[in-house]
Amino acid sequence: MNHYSLNIHGTLFELSTPQVMGILNVTPDSFYAGSRTQTEKEIRQRCRQIIDEGASIIDVGAYSSRPDAVHISAEEEMNRLHTGLRIVREEYPDAIVSVDTFRAEVAERCVGEYGVNIINDIAAGAMDEQMFATVARLQVPYIMMHMQGTPQTMQQEPHYDNVVKEVFLYFATRIQQLHEMGVNDIILDPGFGFGKTLAHNYELMAHLEEIPRTFDLPLLVGVSRKSMIYKLLNCTPAEALNGTTVLHTIALLKGAHILRVHDVKEAVEAVRIVETLNTTHISC
């Protein structure tokens, strides 16, 4: 695995060991009910859990991107983020925080008002034409995810002639645009579950190691409790932790640098086991 680092306000954040990003949802309608935090007490408890269980990044999201999610205004999204980010900064002022938004205006306000360190964009700039210019101006690391369609349309019969080639072409075009604008800290997320069938998701997983190898950029994987697990195993998101850990382990073995997760403790354990395996030299 190549060794990558991110420039976080002038300090290098190393990805030589895979990192765990804990999800902090301040939405009332996330697909996994167990991850929803609404009250200030719940948000504080979730922040502490994420850090205490070993995550190095807190990912705060206020816009549900589940299939058929209700579209909310930028004002409503920002109102939710004000509460979540204020509490995160009160509890952990030095924590590395990413904000999960596709809106340039929201990204800029979060960085300016709360010192958010990373922008996590499910739309790779496609839902806000100002996003790339905003990230270039802010000079913060940018997570760019592949999605076909929007959260409201993405699971309405997604189609690809070749899902791997099309995702790679999507990344190649946007990486070039970002590099030309002076953005160098880019993290790639293939977007499991976003405009993809069960078969598409597993085909991408089978070729996952080719993403960092092709683009020479760090790789984020977000599969936690998603439909590619619970639909395959005929269970619910609440019952999908074991399947999640299996896919996390596979992703780590294929070169993932960041895992975006609901269940931090289990993901941290998977990282520790895989890292031990990777650094153990057995002599015959």
> Distance of CA 264 to CAs 10, 226, 241, 268, Å?
27, 15, 11, 6
Q: What residue type is assigned to position 14 of the chain?
A: E
* 226 noted as active-site residue: yes
User: What is d(CA 37, CA 27) in angstroms, rounded to the nearest whole number?
Assistant: 7
Determine which one of 109, 196, 226, 254 is catalytic: 226
> By the 8 A CB rule, do 101 and 119 touch?
yes
In 3-state terms, what secondary structure has residue 10? coil
User: What is d(CA 160, CA 148) in angstroms, rounded to the nearest whole number?
Assistant: 9
> Any idea what DSSP says for residue 153?
T
* 260 noted as active-site residue: yes
Please name which of 128, 179, 123 lies closest in space to residue 151, comparing C-alpha atoms.
Answer: 123
Torsion of CA 263, 108, 17, 269, to 10 degrees: -10
Q: Which residues are catalytic?
A: 226, 260
